[in-house]
């Protein structure tokens, strides 16, 4: 039986220093072949980052109307970086929204951030953090750009406002996650934006958000 080998693609940086060379496929000690899926490979390299309400009190609060200049969360992707949004969770807490909750997620091929908001603390999902993040996540920010100001709608949802476990269809938590076959690669400068609003009182949420980062030089090579 002959051995199998594959060409290593990608490169730049220590994790992919074998780029352009042949490398044997990995096997377990008893000879069973295996490979990691793409996201696990990125996480192993330290390329997946997350942010959230780490103290369980740092919630975000939705608006009372849709305003393209005021997202609740905004990921700023700089030039030279490609971001892949992966997972968002919003869990309603505290003050109940004044009316039905609308959640709108969009992305844009422009830098939508201008000023304001809170720059959120980010942690790599590889806790020794071998790579520094390039993107910046803001909450409660003011964001606007002269062109492409509305981006592309990616996900929309409407939910009842009460937090009541006794109600079978009570959606107090809302998840969005990337699923094939529609990956969105945000080639910087770009932005990922989350808006939530209710008619009279914006809901408050526990939250977390994860994304992957790839140097553009590796993404296009």
Residue-wise pLDDT for 181-207, tens only, equals: 578 999 999 999 998 887 777 777 777
DSSP secondary structure code for residue 109 in this structure: S
57 and 85: one domain? yes
Tokens describing residue 148: 């492409």
Tokens describing residue 182: 């529609």
19 and 108: one domain? no
Q: Burial code of 130-143, b = ≥16 C-beta within 10 A, e = fewer? A: ebebbbbbbbbbbb
Query: CB atoms < 10 A from the CB of 76, how many?
Result: 24
Tell whether the model's pLDDT for residue 208 goes beyond 70: yes
24 and 110: one domain? no
In a domain, 141, yes or no: yes
Tell whether the model's pLDDT for residue 213 goes beyond 90: yes
14 and 77: one domain? no
Query: Cα torsion at 25, 211, 134, 15 (round to 10°)?
Result: -10
In a domain, 42, yes or no: no
136 and 160: one domain? yes
Residue among 6, 78, 19 at smallest CA distance from 45: 19
| Domain that includes residue 97, residue range | 49-219
Banded pLDDT at 210 (limits 50, 70, 90): very high
133 and 30: one domain? no
Banded pLDDT at 6 (limits 50, 70, 90): low
In a domain, 11, yes or no: yes
Phi, psi of 41 (to 5 degrees): -65, -40
Tokens describing residue 70: 């005021």
81 and 25: one domain? no
Decide if 124 contacts 133 (C-beta within 8 A): yes
Mean pLDDT for the chain?
76
Rounded Cα distance between 179 and 175, Å, is: 12
140 and 162: one domain? yes
110 and 6: one domain? no
In a domain, 44, yes or no: no
Banded pLDDT at 174 (limits 50, 70, 90): low
17 and 75: one domain? no
Tell whether the model's pLDDT for residue 10 goes beyond 50: no
89 and 149: one domain? yes
Residue among 145, 174, 146 at smallest CA distance from 159: 174
Quote the distance between the C-alpha of residue 191 and its chain's center.
10
187 and 112: one domain? yes
pLDDT reported for residue 39: 85
Q: How many structural domains is the chain composed of?
A: 2
pLDDT reported for residue 2: 47
């Amino acid at each position: 039986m002959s051995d199998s080998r594959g060409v290593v693609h990608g490169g730049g940086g220590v994790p992919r220093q074998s780029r352009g060379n042949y490398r044997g496929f990995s096997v377990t000690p008893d000879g069973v072949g295996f490979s990691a899926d793409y996201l696990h490979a990125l996480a192993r390299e330290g390329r997946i980052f997350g942010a959230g309400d780490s103290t369980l009190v740092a919630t975000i609060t939705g608006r009372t109307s849709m305003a393209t200049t005021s997202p609740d969360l905004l990921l700023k992707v700089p030039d030279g970086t490609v971001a892949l949004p992966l997972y968002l969770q919003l869990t309603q807490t505290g003050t109940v929204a004044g009316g039905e909750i609308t959640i709108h997620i969009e992305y844009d091929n422009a830098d939508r951030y201008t000023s304001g908001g809170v720059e959120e603390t980010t942690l790599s999902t590889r806790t020794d953090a071998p790579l520094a993040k390039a993107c910046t996540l803001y909450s409660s920010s003011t964001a606007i750009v002269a062109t492409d100001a509305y981006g592309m709608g990616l996900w929309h949802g409407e939910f009842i406002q009460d937090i009541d476990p006794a109600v079978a269809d009570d959606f107090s938590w809302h998840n969005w996650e990337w699923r094939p076959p529609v990956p969105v690669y945000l080639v910087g400068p770009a932005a990922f934006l989350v808006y939530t609003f209710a008619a009279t009182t914006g809901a408050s949420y526990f939250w977390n958000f994860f994304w992957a980062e790839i140097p553009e030089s590796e993404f296009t090579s």
